[in-house]
Structure formats: structure tokens, C-alpha cells
Chain A
Amino acid sequence: MSEPVVNPGTEQIAPPPKPKRPKPKSMLMIGEQTAALFENARLAKERGEKVGWSASIFPQEIAETLGLNVLYPENHAAGIAARHQADPFLQECEGPLGYSNDLCAYAKLNLAYAAVLNGESEVELPDGGKMVKPDFLLLTNNICNQLTKWYENLARQMDIPVFFIDTCYNPSDYVTETRVRYVRAQIDQLIQDLCAFTGKTWDEERFREVMKISQRNSYLWERANGLLDHKPAPIGGFELFNYMSAMVCNRGKTSTTAIMEQLNAEMEENIRLGKSTFPVEEEFRVSWDGIACWPYLSHNLRTLKKYGINMVASSYGKAWAIEYDDLDGMARAYCFASTNGDNATTMIGRRLEALKRFDCEGTIYHVNRSCKVMDCQMMEVQRQLSEQAGVPFTSFDGDQADYRNYSEAQFETRIQGLVEVMKLNKEAKNNG
């Protein structure tokens, strides 16, 4: 039993804080895995081994096969933003470092962080510098072209090489075979170059093993996402964002298999018991389009909870469910992984499937100021998807990491508006 808390200065007795729900085992495992990722990188650096930074949808299996320690700037920046520690980095980047505030906030955070590691800036690192200074960069542009520029700058800033796979935007509904050939050739070259740079040796057998683990993890991740199709969904959909680091940073590891198995088991247990970790009754089921608004995740959640809205489908997290069974397949899969790299037909197709499967009653679009590639075709996607699925939508202005680009009032009003339409639709459906 908690003791009542006395607020200093007011002498008023505040109600005891609500006991926190204990974290599920899978979340504790995620915490351990993340800590190990950074610790292993630090130890590797201490041993004089080369450590890399990587774009989030780079074929992680390559580094895993070579036994390289790799950290993920996008994931790290999201963490800093979610913990409300972004401000000094944004100020540093837009001030002394001379970057425009128009740029991706993940990039801005990371470029400033890198400047500190490089001895050019003096912002205090809230995590003590656990994102150790890289010796090389692993780059793909399947998410966006900004990554290419961001990594060019990191490479120049720290005088380190970039190992790059140009995955090419897909204006067609499929990955053309010429793209597969181009990407495959780059993968082959990259493996050679990376081995030469790091002194590691490519082991085909180990690669097959890593590929198998990675496939199993992708399957389990996809499966966990799929379990949200139960009514009520066994967990609050936002909770899945917490597991993304396993897929982004540790896709080829058995520790991720253990986490994903545990997560699936926990979700299945909830289904069996008819329970959900979503804290209120699931009144509405919606899909979320775009990256999480990390600085305001709790405000997003609180607002949605108020109306009983559970986010049961997201286009974002599933980008890491990457399936293939050989190097050609890997080339094709990484070209097609992120819908940012795909044409509108593919985007709409994937979203339509999700809206139907998860029986969504609405869509929430995050107009993410950091992400032009998402925003610049979102309006057309919204129109077509809403018409084809017969599902209403709303959008709000936010940012994946820049806390300045969000208005709580706007988010609340937009959600309120969506709820009104969803309510009317529900009533009409119930009345036949």
C-alpha cells in the first residue's frame, strides 16, 4: 500500500499514486536486450573493434553474420525525443551547426549528438554517450532520400566510410527485376568491402542461420501484429511500438526470437482469458498512419483512451516484417520493405488490407513535419483509402522527434471529430 504523498509547499494531501501495472515479461526482456546492444557496442569499442551506425531498414543480417556491433540513430533519436531530451540537440543543430529547422528531426538530433562525440559541441549527453562514436556507416535509402544526405554529412563530419545500398524508389507496383539485379550487386560488393574494412570473414553457413533467425522473427512480429485482429485486441496497439527496437536493431538475433515468442504467448494468454492490457473498454478500433509522435506519445494515448480508441493497425511497425529466403530475395524484400519507397497503389493496397483485417472504424494520419516522403502523398492516399474502405479519417500535425511541431488542442479536437463520425457510423450499422 502506498503512503499518501504530501506536495511540498501546499501541505495538501494528494491521493496515492495509481499503482503501476507491472511490466510484462516481454517488456523486461526488451529492456535487457536494448541495454545489451549499447553495452556490447561500448565493449567492442573498448576492445578496439569497429562499431557501426545503421539506417533502420538496412539488411541487418549482413552485420549480424559478420558479428559486427551496430547501433541505430533513428531508434536512438526516437528514444531521446520520447524522453523529452531533444531540445538541446535541436538547438545545437539549428544554431551552431548551421542546419535548417526544416530537416528531419531524427537527423537533427543525431547530427548534434555526433558533433558532441566528435568534440565539436558541448551538449550534455543525457545517456552518457551510450551511442558510441561509429567507425563506419551502413546506409539504405528505402525509407527516404534524406537518410542519404544525413549519412553523407555524418561521414564527412567524422571522416568515416559509408557502405551504401541504393534500394531505389518503386514507381511500379512491384520491384522490377533490374532493381533486384542492381541491389543484389551492391549487396555482394558491400559484403566484400565491409569484410575488407573490418577484417571480418563472411561465413555463408552463419548467414543462412542468421537469415533463418531473421525470418522466424519477422514471422513472429507479423503474427503478434496480426493478433490485434481479435476483439477486443489483447493489448493496446501503441504497446507494440515498444517492441520495435527488437525488430529494428536486433532482427537477426535469437534474443529477439525469445522476446517475440514471449510477446505472442502473452497476447494469446490475454485472448484466452478474454483480457486486454488496453486500459478501458475498446469502443473503437483505428489504424495509425505514420511514425509515432514520440514526444507526445502519452498525450496521444491519453486522448485516445478517453474515447476508448484502440490503435489496432499501423503501417509503420510492419515495415520490419521482412520476408525472403536468399540474397536475391533479400534484395527484393529490402526494396519493398518500407511503403515510403513504394508507389501510392502499393501503399493503399497494404493499408486497405489492414483496415479490413483489423476491422478498423477510422484512420489517424500523423502529418509528420519531419517526413516529407510520407506527407507529400498522404492526402491522395487518404482520399482513395477512405473511399475504397468506407472508413473516415482524421489527420493531425506532429513530429516524430521535434516537440515544437504539435498542438495538444488540435490533436484533441481532431480525435473528437473522428469519434463523432465513427459513432454515427456505428449507430447506422447497429440500426441496420
Chain B
Amino acid sequence: MAELRENLARLQAACDNPRAQLDYYLKQGKKVVGCFAPYTPEELVHASGMIPMGLWGGQTEFQKVTSYLPAFACPIMQANLEFALNGVYEGLSAVIIPAICDTLRCMTQNWRFGVPSIPMVPIVYPQNRTSPASVDYLISEYETVLTILSTVTGQMMNEKALCRTIEIYNGHNAAMREFAQVANDHLDMITPRVRHTVFKSAFFFEKEEHTAIVKEITAALREQPVHDWTGKKIILTGIAFEPNEVLDILAENQLAVVGDDLAQESRQYRTDTPVTGGGGLKRLTLQWNARKGCSLIHEMDKPRGKMLARMCQETGAQGVLTGLMKFCDPEEYDLPFLEEDLRRVGIQCVTVSIDQQSGSVEQLRTRIQSFAELL
């Protein structure tokens, strides 16, 4: 139990102070590459012997960024750029920005001119994934990323390293999925905040290190007696569900998170890279083409609502809470059909607006309370 608490505290500390993690790796002589949210090809960084570190915004006051982005831009991007303009990310050898939405397209350019001290590596994922040509195209994008990375950092990967990295990442995916499953038997200990910490902390650790910690946590949980949760169970969906104060409101209302479809959390871990089917880069493209149910990736038939309904069935969740990241148009387009599909099968769903800046938290309290009552 003491070890469990210690591990959770370690992950919490990394989330509370990612800069300390960055400094820790830098002190070890490692190079660190910032990875913009979401779907940055971390494997390429890892296989090149560097530490990929997630850049998912945070709480700050928007000042310098107002010279680059309008107030109605994604708050995660605003926070990332504000941090960068204030030197918070100094020490990173490069950042990788996937131009996966309209704001991220522009972020590649704002970073390029606004933060010249940290080289920017763009990647543009194919959206027409039913086209067989998307595979070769994405391989070429990965190769461009690798070329720029090796130019700016001096570190290069080889095939063996990439294959090993893919194993490590698939192992991490499995560890995260297992944790999510086991956590549902211990909803007294794994509160929404704790669950989020375990997921978010993955961005600030070398993957093998994080896998080891999460496995220890899962093992320790298994040793505990199963807890009979008497509150309500819900699924979270959206880009991210932050800050912690919002998650605390869930706990206050006896709402336990038993699954998620958050881009910052499980969405990343539900699709493994195939173990066969070509070289490492090709297999990574096959992973991209196999991803499902994400607002940022083009897919016909809007399958997300049905997917969430299945998740509710599997986990016994009574409702779905959507954290709609402010000004996130890809999510905004998904929302009407997502809600329609859930309601059609009798699953309650409510949407709350998410902004990482804590000022908005109180506005959510009433909405979450009424959601809890609805269940």
C-alpha cells in the first residue's frame, strides 16, 4: 500500500511539475523533444534515443500569445505558445507539431517564427486512410521527421531500435489498458483525479519507466480487495478533462470514471502498432490507419456515439460526460451525432465546456451536479 501511494505520488509530482522532469532528463545528458498534442509520432523520438515529452498546455495567463493567436483559438495551443514565448520550454532540442486541425496547421508557423530557439518539426498525417497511397505518403512524412530530428539533434535511429521502441510502446499501451480495467475494481482509491494523473503522467516519463510504474500500481491494486462502488459510473469523452478541480467535482458528486475516450488519455492507447506487416515505419502507418473514433481523424458514419455506447455496456457506466475543449471545432462537429446516438440507446449524456484555466471551474459545478442527479 505504501508503495502504491509512493508511485501515485511520483506520477502526481511529474504532472505538477513537468519542468522538473525535463531538467532531470537533461541532467542525465538526455535530449528531450516536445510533442504537441495529440498523435505526435513519439516512437521516432524514442527510437532516436531521446525522450519525447508531451506538451498539453497548462495553467498560465495569456499575454505574449495574444500577439500570435486570437482569443478564440484552442486554449491548449494558447497555453503551449505562451509557455514557449516565456522560455518555459527552453532545453527542448526540438518540438514536433502534427498539423491535424486548423489551429495546429497555424501553430507550426507561429512556432517557427515565434520560438526560433527550439526547432519545429511538422508532420501532416493523411486523412484519406482508405487510400492505399496514404501508407507511402505517411512513411515519407515519418522520414522527413527523422531527417529533421537527426539534423537538429544529431541523433538518428536504426531499424532495430525502432522495432524495440514499438514493442515498448505496445507494452505501454497494454499496461495503460490493464490499469484502466483494474482501476474499476478500486474506485474508492482510483478517484477521477488519480486516474487522470496516471494517464497524464505518461507524457513526462520515458515510456519503459512509466510502464514499470503503472504495472506496479496495477499489481498493488490487484492485491487490494475489490471495492463495491455504490456511486454512479461514467465515461469521459473529449480532448482532455482538466484541470484537477473539475475532476474533484466529479468525486464530490459520487461520480467514478470507469472508462474514457479522451485524446489525452485512452484514445492514444487503444490501437497497437502491428507486430508484423513490414518495417517499423510501415507498421506505424498501419497503426495510424487502424485508429478509430477520433474527431481529429476522418472517418465515415460518425462511429463515436456507438463506440461510447458499447463502452458503457462493457463497464456498466450509466452516462457519458463530454468535456468539450473550448473552441475545438473537430469535437464540436462530432457532438450532435455523438449525443444523438447515445440518447437513442437510452444513455444519459451531458456536455461541459473545458478550459484548462481554472477560472471557469465553478461554472461547471452546477452542470455536473445535475448530471449526477440525472443518472
Contact = CB atoms under 8 A, between A and B. Distances in A.
Pick from B67, B128, B131, B340 the residue with the most CB of A within 10 Å. B128
A141 interface: yes
Contacts of B327: 102, 372
B301 to A, nearest CB: 6
A100 B335 contact: yes
A344 B340 CA distance: 39
Contact of B109 (A149, A156, A179, A377): A377
A99 B324 CA distance: 12
A379 B107 CA distance: 12
A152 B137 CA distance: 23
A375 B69 CA distance: 7
A166 B131 contact: yes
A6 interface: no
B57 to A, nearest CB: 15
Interface residues of B, number: 52
Given A168-B124, A344-B113, A185 B131 contact: yes
B73 A148 contact: no
B126 interface: yes
B137 A181 contact: yes
Contacts of B141: 178
B110 A380 contact: yes
A185 B112 contact: no
Interface in A79-136: 97-100, 102-104
Pick from B68, B113, B329 the residue with the most CB of A within 10 Å. B329
A103 B329 contact: yes
Interface residues of A, number: 45
B177 interface: no
Contact of A377 (B106, B126, B136, B340): B106
A146 B298 contact: no
A246 B105 CA distance: 29
Nearest to B68: A379
Interface in A250-265: none
A141 B132 CA distance: 18
Contacts of A344: 109, 112-113
A165 interface: yes
26 contacts: A98-B335, A100-B324, A100-B335, A102-B72, A145-B101, A145-B127, A149-B329, A152-B298, A155-B300, A156-B300, A164-B298, A166-B127, A166-B134, A169-B124, A171-B99, A171-B109, A171-B122, A176-B144, A178-B140, A181-B133, A185-B133, A372-B106, A375-B73, A376-B102, A376-B103, A380-B109
Interface of A: 97-100, 102-104, 141, 144-146, 148-150, 152-153, 155-156, 162, 164-166, 168-169, 171, 176, 178-179, 181-182, 185-186, 189, 343-344, 367, 369, 372-373, 375-377, 379-380, 384
Nearest 5 interchain pairs by C-beta: A185-B133, A376-B106, A149-B333, A182-B137, A171-B122
